Structure 1
Amino acid sequence: MRKRTAQRYQRATALVTSLVVLFMSFGLGTALLSLSTGGLRHIAREEQALRTLYAAEAGLEFKKMQVWKMFKVEQDFDNFVPWELASPTNPMATVGGDLGDGLRYSCGIVGQQINSNFSRELTFRAVGWLDQDNDAQLDAGEYRTVLEQTIEFTLERSQVFDYAYFANNYGWMYGFGANDLIVNGDMRANGNFDFSGGTPTINGSVYASANNKLIPPAEGIVNITPTQWSNSYYNSQNNPRARQAYDPTRHGAKGSETYEQWRDLIYDQNASIVNNRVSGAVVSDARGTKTYSGTVLDPAPNKELPLPDLDDISRYISLSQNYVDQRQTFADGTPNPNYGQEAYVEVWNSSQNRYVRLSTNGVVNGSGVLIGTSDRPIRIHGPVTFTGDVVIKGFVEGQGTLYAGRNVHIVGSVRYKNPPDFRGTDPAAIEQRNEKRDILGLAARGSVIMGNVKNFGYYPLNYMRPPFTKPRYDEYGNLIPAFDATQVDEYGRKRYQSLYSDDYIASIAENINQIDAIMFTNFVGGGNIATGGGGCTINGSIICKDEAMVLYSLPLRLNYDNRIRDKGPGTRPLIDIDLPRAPKMVPKLWQVLSGGAG
Structure 2
Amino acid sequence: MKASDRDRGAVLVAVLIVAAIVAAFCVTSLLVSSMESQGTYAAILRDRALFVASAGIEDQCKAFQDIMTATLLKRPFFDAFEALAGQHTIQQRALMSDGITVGQYDVVIDSVQPVDAWHRDISMTATGHVPSADDPRAITRTISVVLRIGIEGSDVFDYAYFLDNWGWHQGNRFIVNGNTRTNGQFDFGGCQAQMDGIPRFDKLPDGTLGEMIDEGGVYASWDITGAESLSGTTARERHLHEFNPPEPMPNIADLGEYELLAKAENSTIKIGGNIVCNTIVGDEVGESPNLYLEGTLAQPIEMNGTIVVRGNLIIKGYIKGQGAIYAGGNIYVSGNVQYVDPLKPIPFPRCKEAVVNWIKNNAACDLLGLFAVENIVVGDFNDPVWRADISQWVSDPRNMSEEDAGEDGMPNTRPGRDGILGTADDDVLENDDIWTVEYYTEMHAEHGLIPAGFQVGDAIPGTGEDLDGDGEYDPGTQMKDFDLNVALSKEYWEGNFPETAPASYADLCSNDAGRSINRLDAICYTNHTFAMHQVGTELMVDINGALVARNEAIIYEGKRLTITHDLRLLQ
Please give the TM-score of this superposition, normalised by the length of structure 1. Answer: 0.63
Counterpart position of 2:181: 188
Query: In the TM superposition, what is the alpha-carbon distance from 1:314 to its structure 2 partner?
Result: 1.7
Query: In the TM superposition, what is the alpha-carbon distance from 1:409 to its structure 2 partner?
Result: 0.9
5+ residue gaps, structure 1:
1-38, 205-242, 247-253, 265-273, 324-341, 349-354, 488-493, 567-598
In 2, Cα distance between the equivalents of 1:501 and 1:377? 25
Counterpart position of 1:396: 319
Contact 1:320 1:383 in 2 (8 A): yes
Task: Report the AA paired with residue 111 of structure 2.
Answer: G
In 2, Cα distance between the equivalents of 1:506 and 1:96? 66
Matches within 5 A, 1:449-468: 449-455=377-383, 456-464=386-394, 467=397, 468=399
Counterpart position of 1:198: 191
Q: Does 1:111 align with 2:111?
A: yes
Matches within 5 A, 1:540-551: 540-551=545-556
In 2, Cα distance between the equivalents of 1:296 and 1:379? 39
Structure-2 change in CA distance of 1:40 and 1:450 (3 Å): closer
Counterpart position of 1:580: none
Contact 1:83 1:92 in 2 (8 A): no
In 2, Cα distance between the equivalents of 1:403 and 1:345? 13
Q: Does 1:144 align with 2:140?
A: yes
Task: Report the AA paired with residue 484 of structure 2.
Answer: S
Contact 2:161 2:180 in 1 (8 A): yes
Q: Secondary structure at the match of 2:85?
A: coil
Contact 2:528 2:549 in 1 (8 A): yes
Structure-2 change in CA distance of 1:292 and 1:42 (3 Å): same
Q: Does 1:343 align with 2:267?
A: yes
- Comparing 140-149 with 381-390, which one deviates more in the overlay? 140-149
Query: In the TM superposition, what is the alpha-carbon distance from 1:560 to its structure 2 partner?
Result: 0.5
Deviations 1:343-400 (A, max 9, x none): 111123xxxxxx3212234555411111111221110011111111111111100011
What RMSD in Å do the two structures reach over aligned CA positions?
A: 3.8
Contact 1:167 1:188 in 2 (8 A): yes
Query: In the TM superposition, what is the alpha-carbon distance from 1:72 to its structure 2 partner?
Result: 5.1
Structure-2 change in CA distance of 1:92 and 1:164 (3 Å): same
Deviations 1:211-230 (A, max 9, x none): xxxxxxxxxxxxxxxxxxxx
Contact 2:180 2:218 in 1 (8 A): no
Query: In the TM superposition, what is the alpha-carbon distance from 1:279 to its structure 2 partner?
Result: 4.3
Matches within 5 A, 1:202-213: 202-204=195-197
- Comparing 375-384 with 475-484, which one deviates more in the overlay? 475-484
Contact 2:377 2:530 in 1 (8 A): yes
Contact 1:69 1:475 in 2 (8 A): no
In 1, Cα distance between the equivalents of 2:333 and 2:315? 5
Counterpart position of 1:421: 344
Matches within 5 A, 1:195-274: 195-204=188-197
Structure-2 change in CA distance of 1:281 and 1:68 (3 Å): same
In 2, Cα distance between the equivalents of 1:190 and 1:298? 12
Q: Does 1:305 align with 2:241?
A: no
Aligned match for 1:496, one of 471, 475, 482 = 482
Task: Report the AA paired with residue 302 of structure 1.
Answer: N
Contact 1:386 1:404 in 2 (8 A): yes
Counterpart position of 1:220: none
Q: Does 1:526 align with 2:531?
A: yes
Contact 2:267 2:304 in 1 (8 A): yes
Aligned match for 2:562, one of 554, 557, 562 = 557
Task: Report the AA paired with residue 441 of structure 1.
Answer: G
Q: Does 1:356 align with 2:270?
A: no
Query: In the TM superposition, what is the alpha-carbon distance from 1:81 to its structure 2 partner?
Result: 2.2
Task: Report the AA paired with residue 278 of structure 1.
Answer: D
In 1, Cα distance between the equivalents of 2:396 and 2:72? 27
Aligned match for 1:443, one of 371, 374, 385 = 371
Structure-2 change in CA distance of 1:356 and 1:464 (3 Å): farther
Query: In the TM superposition, what is the alpha-carbon distance from 1:60 to its structure 2 partner?
Result: 2.2
Counterpart position of 1:131: 131
Query: In the TM superposition, what is the alpha-carbon distance from 1:442 to its structure 2 partner?
Result: 0.5
Aligned match for 1:433, one of 361, 369, 386 = 361
Query: In the TM superposition, what is the alpha-carbon distance from 1:320 to its structure 2 partner?
Result: 0.2
Query: In the TM superposition, what is the alpha-carbon distance from 1:95 to its structure 2 partner?
Result: 9.6
Counterpart position of 2:122: 122
Task: Report the AA paired with residue 95 of structure 2.
Answer: D
Query: In the TM superposition, what is the alpha-carbon distance from 1:292 to its structure 2 partner?
Result: 5.6
Aligned match for 2:61, one of 40, 59, 64 = 64
Counterpart position of 1:173: 169
- Comparing 546-555 with 523-532, which one deviates more in the overlay? 523-532
In 1, Cα distance between the equivalents of 2:293 and 2:109? 48
Contact 1:389 1:405 in 2 (8 A): yes
Task: Report the AA paired with residue 527 of structure 2.
Answer: N
Q: Secondary structure at the match of 2:157?
A: helix
- Comparing 98-107 with 505-514, which one deviates more in the overlay? 98-107
Contact 2:182 2:220 in 1 (8 A): no
In 2, Cα distance between the equivalents of 1:462 and 1:364? 35
Structure-2 change in CA distance of 1:56 and 1:189 (3 Å): farther
Contact 1:160 1:166 in 2 (8 A): yes
Structure-2 change in CA distance of 1:505 and 1:153 (3 Å): farther
Structure-2 change in CA distance of 1:298 and 1:312 (3 Å): closer
In 1, Cα distance between the equivalents of 2:475 and 2:37? 64
Deviations 1:456-506 (A, max 9, x none): 42321333457532333577474445554437xxxxxx4212344475422
Aligned match for 2:47, one of 50, 59, 74 = 50
Aligned match for 1:372, one of 295, 300, 310 = 295
Q: Does 1:81 align with 2:76?
A: no
Deviations 1:120-171 (A, max 9, x none): 3333433333235xxxx55554223322322222222211110111111222
Counterpart position of 1:19: none
In 2, Cα distance between the equivalents of 1:302 and 1:374? 44
Task: Report the AA paired with residue 486 of structure 1.
Answer: Q
